[in-house]
Structure 1
Amino acid sequence: MKAAAFYTRQPRHWWLAVGWLTVVGLAALLAPVTSSPPDFAQLSQPPFLNTRHWLGTNAQGLDVGQALLQGARTVVGVSVPATLLTFLLGAVLGSLAGFLQNTRWRASPELLLSILLPVALSVTIGPRWLGAQLLLLPGLAVLLWLGGRRAFRGWRGVPVPVDTLVMGMISLLDSLPLLVLVLIAAAVQRPSLSGLLILLSLTCWTTPARLMRAATLQVKALPYAEAAEAAGLPAAQIIRRHIWPNTWQVLLTRFPLTVAMLIGFETTLSFLGVGLPPEVPSWGRLLAGIRQSPTDWWLLAWPGLALVLTILSLQLLTQRK
C-alpha cells in the first residue's frame, strides 16, 4: 500500500524523468558493441536526409545515432559504478569518523605502519602507475603488518584521531576546485576505464562522507545504539547492525545528484580528450567533433540534448512529493 501511494503521488515531471532514464538505460543495453564502418560517401551528412543515417554523420562518416547509443552505454557504465564506489568509500569513512571520533580506536603500531607506509609510497609515485600500485601495495601492507607484529610485540595501541583525519581530508578536497582536480589527475594518468572510475571515486566521496558522518552522530546518540555500545559490542558490529541500516536513506536521496555530477565530469573529460581511451565512444567525444566541423550543428544538438535531458531527469528524481 505504501509503495502504491508513493507512485500515485508523484508529479508528471517525475514520471517523464523516469521515462527518459529508462530510455537511456535501454539504449545502453541495446547499443552495438562494435561501430559500423565509416560511410565515406556520406561525410558530414545532415540529419533526416538519408534513411541509413537518420541523425546524420560526422566528418569521418560515422553514424551519429549509433554513436549516441554507444555513448549512452559509456555514460551508464562510468557514472553508476563510480557513484557506487564513491558512496561506498564515503559511507565507510563517514560512519567511522562519526562513530569512532578521535579517541575510541587505538591502533597497534604494526597496523599504522602497514597503512601509512604504502599510502606514502602511493602519494610519492603518483597516479601514473596506478594499476601496479593496486597490485603491489596491498601485498606490501600485509608484509609490513606481519613483520610489525614481531617487531612491536608488547607495544600498546596508539589512539588514532579518525574524525580529525577524515574531516581534514574532506576540507582539503573541498578547498580545491573539483573539476580542476579531476582534470589534472586525469591528464597525468594513462586513459582507461578502471583508472577513471578510481579517479572519480577518490575525488568525489566527500559529500557522502559528510552526510554519513552527520547521520551517524545522530543515530549514535539514540538509546539502542548507546545500549549496544554499553554492552561492549565491537564497533564494526554496531556500525553494520545499527548505524548503516538507519542512515542509508540519507545517501539514497543524494544518489541521483551524484550520478548527474559524474556524468558531467565524464563528458567534460571526454570532450577534452582525457580520461577514457580514444576508441571508447562518448557523448563528450561526439560533442568534440564540432571543433573540426563548426557548421555540423547536429554534432552539438543531439549529444547536447541527450546530456541535458539526462542530467535534468536525475535532478527531477529528487523533487518528490
Structure 2
Amino acid sequence: MTRRIQPISLDIEGKSYEVDFEKEDVFFPFRPTENHWMGLDSSGRDVFSRLIHAMRISMNFGILLVAASMLLGIAAGAVQGYYGGKVDLLGQRSIEIWEALPFLYVMILLGSVFGQSFGLLLVVYALFSWIGISYYIRGEFLKLRKQPFVEAATCLGLPSRKIILRHILPNSMVPVITFFPFSLVSAIGALSALDYLGFGLPAPTPSWGEMFAQAQEFSYAWWLVLFPFLALFLVGLLGVFIGEGVRSAFDPRANTHYES
C-alpha cells in the first residue's frame, strides 16, 4: 500500500525546494519490482532464483526417477516375457497386487516415520512407477522370443542371460526410448503435485508446487501462480516436443513400405 507523506521544504544555497515522499508498506509476498522481476514469496525470497533452483531439483528428480523406473521395468518385463508360462503368470499376478497398493498413503506413512526427504521420495516413487514400462517390455519379449535369430542363438547353446541382453533387449528398446521424455515430464508434474499437497520435498526446498500452495494462501499474489505455471508449462511442452521427435525417429513404420 502506497501512502503520500507530508511534503518537506528545504533551502539549499538560497533556493527553496519542496520534496514529496511516497511511503510504500512492504509485506510478503510482494509484487514484481525492478530488482526482483518475478516478485518475492511469502518469506521474502526472490521468486526467479527459486524457480531456477526448483527446475534443477525437478530435472534431477525426474531423470533419476525415470532411469530407476526404466531399469526395474525392463528387468521385470524381460524375465516375464522371455520365460513366459508360470513365470509370466506369477509375475503378472504379483504386479497387479503391487499396483493395487495406494502410493499416496504409503508415502504419507513413510514420510511420517522417516521424515520427508529427496531420497525417500525418489525410492518410494520409483517402486511404484516401473509397472507401466514393464508391460511394454514384456510384450516386446513375448513377440521377439520366437523370432528366428533368437531360436538360432538358443540352438547355438547361448545362455539365457546373453540371449536376453545381447539379442532381444536391443531390439526391444523402442518403447523405452520413446516413453523416456514423456515419463520425465510426468515425473516433474508428479513432484510438483506432491509438493503442492505437502507430501513432497521438505521445506525450504525450492519447488514449483510449494509456490502454488503459497499462491492459494495469498490469493492476491498472482505472480506465485503465473511464473511457476509458465515454467512448468514450458518444461512440459519441450518434453512433449522432444518425445514426439524421438518417437518419429524410432518408429519402425516410418521406414517401412510395401511393394505390390
Q: What is aligned with 2:5?
A: none
1:151-189 deviations in whole A, cap 9, x for unaligned?
A: xxxxxxxxxx3212221233335556xxxx332122111
SS at 2:239 equivalent: helix
Alignment of 1:76-225 (within 5 A): 76-102=59-85, 161-174=86-99, 181-189=102-110, 190-225=115-150
Specify the code of the residue in structure 2 equivalent to 1:260: V
CA contact (8 A) 1:97 1:162 kept: yes
Deviation at 1:68, TM superposition (A): 0.2
Report the alpha carbon displacement of residue 206 of structure 1 after superposing the two structures with TM: 1.2
Q: CA deviation at 1:200?
A: 1.4
**Distance across 1 between alignment mates of 2:176 and 2:124:** 20
The question of 1:58 aligning with 2:41 is answered: yes
| Structure 2 Cα separation of the partners of residues 78 and 68 of structure 1 | 15
TM-score for both structures, normalised by structure 1: 0.64
What does residue 303 of structure 1 align with?
228
The one-letter code sitting in structure 1 at the alignment partner of 2:160 is A
Give the equivalent residue in structure 1 for 2:30.
45
Aligned to 1:264: 189
Q: Deviations over 1:237-293 (max 9, x none)?
A: 111111111111221001111111111211111111113222321111111111221
The offset of 1:215, in angstroms, is 0.9
Across the aligned residues of Structure 1 and Structure 2, the Cα RMSD in angstroms comes to 1.8
In the alignment, what sits opposite 2:205? 280
Identity %: 30
Partners of 1:263 and 1:169 lie apart in 2 by 28
Flag the structure with more relative contact order, 1 or 2, with Cα contacts below 8 A and sequence separation at least 6: 1
Q: Please say if residues 67 and 286 of structure 1, whose CA atoms lie closer than 8 Å, have aligned partners that are also in contact.
A: no
1:289 aligns with 2:214: yes
The Cα of 1:315 is off from its aligned counterpart by: 2.0
**Number of residue pairs matched?**
218
Displacement, 1:41? Answer: 5.0
1:228 maps to which residue? 153
Distance across 2 between alignment mates of 1:309 and 1:188: 33
Q: Work out the CA distance in 1 between the residues paired with 2:99 and 2:106.
A: 16
- Whether the 8 Å CA contact 2:84–2:142 is kept in 1: the answer is no
Structure 1 spans left out of the alignment, 5+ residues: 1-39, 103-160
User: What's the counterpart of residue 246 of structure 1?
Assistant: 171
Distance in 2 (alpha carbons) for counterparts of 1:255 and 1:57: 35
1:71 aligns with 2:58: no
List runs of 5+ in structure 2 lacking aligned partners. Answer: 1-24, 249-260
Residue 42 of structure 1: CA displacement? 5.9
Q: Is the 8 A contact 1:186 1:274 kept in 2?
A: yes
* Aligned residues of 2:38 and 2:47 also touching (Cα < 8 A): yes
Contact 1:42 1:57 in 2 (8 A): no
1:95 aligned partner, one-letter code: A
**Distance of 2:243 and 2:109 partners within structure 1:** 35
Superposition TM-score, scaled by structure 2 size? 0.78
Q: Match of 1:68, as an amino acid?
A: L
Distance 2:27 2:46 in 1: 9
- Aligned counterparts of 1:169 and 1:307: Cα–Cα separation in 2: 35
Structure 1 position 319, deviation (Å) = 2.6
Q: Which has the higher strand share?
A: 2
Task: State the distance in 2 between where 1:258 and 1:225 align.
Answer: 30
